[in-house]
Amino acid sequence: MFQQDQDIFNVLLGSVSEGVIIVDEQQKVVEVNAAAQKMFRYTKEELIKQHLKILIPQNYRSGHDAHFNGFMKSKERRQMGHGRDVFGARKDGSIFPVEAGLNPFSIYGKNYVMALVIDISIRKEHEEKIQELNAELEKKVLLRTQELSETIEQLEVENAKRVEAEEEAKTALKREQELNELKTKFLSLVSHEFKTPLSGILTSTMLLSKYKLTEQQQKRDKHIKTITDKVHYLNNILNDFLSVEKLQKGKVNYKFSTFKVSKVVNEVVYNANMLLKDGQQINYPENIDGFSLHQDEKIVELALSNLMHNAIKYSSENTIIDIIITQDATTTTLQVKDNGIGIPEKDQKNIFNRYFRAENALLTQGTGIGLNIVKDHLENLHGSISFKSTENEGTIFTIMIPNKATI
């Protein structure tokens, strides 16, 4: 009967496709099936009564006893695929990965463990290949992502360049349009501003030839003054146009020196007196003898002259023009106050624009570039010009300039 049971047991073990290894409490091999013999390349006779360590790689043996004893104490089944990675050692010394399911059981008062073992070498190879493929795929994805990112960056750079080029083209077109408008205004202005004084010069010249008698000297002097005034006016216009060109091309060379403010004021007032209308008066500034500047004297004179001439031109007869000058440790302030026609509020924002003329000044001779020139010069010298004006009441222009040039 025992032999019959043994035969049945052997048949069952032989039919199991997994390797079956049975050990006792001392880890002695008591039974192995054909699948286990084939897997580890031992015969049954070579394994029976051998210690289980014969099937364990050398570098895993040191901790094996502790794991086995712990398992025997708990006597809980462990399914395949649970726990740490396990490796087996074949008879030829080669090592291969395995999965082992452990099943404790007892017969006739003795404890045993049956291990179901499968060789997972092929699975591990596939897993490694999959991992390699995944790693390679990740590298490719990373590379493609990087390439895509670089391409996007290049496209963004190109797009930024395109946008910049479009903006530059729009700006250039706008400048060209503005330039064409300025040219049109300039031609119209030159035609009008030159034609009027030239006509006056021509008329006076023709009339001069008729006054040959000594007693007609007063009439000759009148026409000579007219010619002189017109030539002076034309000369000022030409100087304004030349100043605009130099400012546009950045060809202005400022010449700095130290000078008395009173020197400039005296020169400006002297010239302005010859332009005064009947009854107009200039109030000379007080207490300026101690004021000095280290600046471009000609530019300061130009700025003050422009304001004075405008005050005279846009004020009626019998009015007063005040010059007010103050100075502190860093800045000199020059003000010209008139009681003239003033500047309409709607025109005030454009008063420093080149060729612009206020609506109430269109019938008065002028180029509309004087204030623009003054503003550009003063800003180049780190100064400023501003104004307050009320239509039909008058205007106050204020120039602020550093006492000492810093450019």
User: Residue 360: its pLDDT value, please?
Assistant: 66
Tokens of 1: 């009967």
Position 401 confidence tier, pLDDT thresholds 50, 70, 90: very high
* Single-letter code of the amino acid located at 356: F
Tell me the whole-structure pTM to 2 decimals. 0.48
* Single-letter code of the amino acid located at 352: F
Burial string for 318-340 (b: 16+ CB within 10 Å, else e) reads ebebbbebebeeeebebbbbbbb
> Closest Cα partner for 370 from 308, 291, 318?
308
User: Is the pLDDT reported for residue 139 higher than 70?
Assistant: yes
The pLDDT of 233-239, averaged and rounded, is: 60
Contact 313, 374 (CB under 8 A): no
Around Cβ 75, how many Cβ atoms within 10 Å? Answer: 13
> Closest Cα partner for 397 from 309, 273, 294, 274?
309
DSSP letter for each residue of 135-201: HHHHHHHHHHHHHHHHHHHHHHHHHHHHHHHHHHHHHHHHHHHHHHHHHHHHHHHHHHHHHHHHHHH
- pLDDT tens digits along 276-327: 999 999 999 999 999 999 999 988 998 998 899 899 989 999 999 999 999 9
Query: What average pLDDT does the chain have?
Result: 82
Q: How far apart are CA 20 and CA 115, in angstroms?
A: 6
User: Residue 351: its pLDDT value, please?
Assistant: 86
Q: How far apart are CA 182 and CA 173, in angstroms?
A: 14
- pLDDT tens digits along 89-138: 999 999 999 988 888 888 888 888 888 899 988 888 888 899 999 988 88
User: Residue 12: its pLDDT value, please?
Assistant: 60
Position 200 confidence tier, pLDDT thresholds 50, 70, 90: low
Q: How far apart are CA 328 and CA 275, in angstroms?
A: 32
User: Residue 1: its pLDDT value, please?
Assistant: 42
